[in-house]
Amino acid sequence: MVQVNLWSGLRRLADGNQVVAVEARSLREMLDALLRQHPGLEPVIRAGVSISVDGVIVPDLNAPVTEASEIYLLQRIKGG
């Protein structure tokens, strides 16, 4: 199981949870599993999120994840 950390504002869309455990081997599988478990997160994912894995933003949905990975969903950030 992979532990996904959500930001606290998403708690009410994830049945009060800030950390959600899902079965996944890649970031794509992780997002799909999150949405199956908590369909209320759909507008958030659709608006675009950045995903941090072990402290580094990983843009590739094919990237692997394991149960030891530290995963955070973050707001999209770009810059000027």
Partner 1 sequence: MAKDDTGVRYKLIGTRPDRPDGLDKVTGRARYGADISAPGMLHAAVVRSPHAHARIRGIDASKALALDGVKAVVTRADLPTGLTGEDWNLQENTLAGEVALYDGHAVAAVAATSKLIAQEAARLIQVDYEVLPHVTDVDAAMQPGAPAIRPGAADYSVPEGMHPNVVKQIDFGHGDVDAGFAAADLVREHTYKTEATHQGYIEPHACLGQLGADGRGEMWVCTQGQWYIRRMCAAVLGIEAANLRVTPSEIGGGFGGKTTIFMEPLALALSKKAGGRPVKLVMSRAEVLRATGPTASASMDVKLGMTRDGRVTAGSVRFRMQGGPYIGSSPVGEALSCAFACYDIPAVHHLGYEVLANRPKAAAYRAPGSPMAAFAVESLLDEMCRELGLDPIDTRLKNAAREGTKASYGPTYNRIGFVESLEATKAHPNLKAPLGPNQGRGVASGFWFNHGGETSVSLAVGEDGTATVSVGTPDIGGSRASIGLMTAETLGIPYENVRVNIVETGALGVNEPTHGSRATFASGLAAVEAARQAIATMCRRAAAEWGIDPEAVEWRDGAAHPAGPNAGKFPPLSIAEIGAKMGSTGGPISGHHEVTAGGYGASFGVHVVDVEVDPETGRTTILRYLVVQDAGRAIHPAYVEGQYQGGAAQGIGWALNEEYVYGADGRLQNPVFLDYRVPVASDLPMIDTVIVEVPNPGHPYGVRGVGETGITPPLPAVANAIAAATGARLRSLPMSPPKVLAAIKAGRG
Burial class (CB in 10 A: 0-12, 13-18, 19+), 32: middle
Asked if 35 is part of the footprint of partner 1 (rule: CB under 8 A), the reply reads: no
Please name which of 13, 10, 58, 28 lies closest in space to residue 2, comparing C-alpha atoms.
28
d(CA 60, CA 13) in angstroms, rounded, equals 25
Asked if 39 is part of the footprint of partner 1 (rule: CB under 8 A), the reply reads: no
Interacting residue with partner 1 among 57, 64, 66, 67 (CB under 8 A): 57
Asked if 68 is part of the footprint of partner 1 (rule: CB under 8 A), the reply reads: no
Interacting residues with partner 1 (CB under 8 A) = 5, 7-9, 13, 43-44, 47, 52, 54-60, 70, 72, 74-80
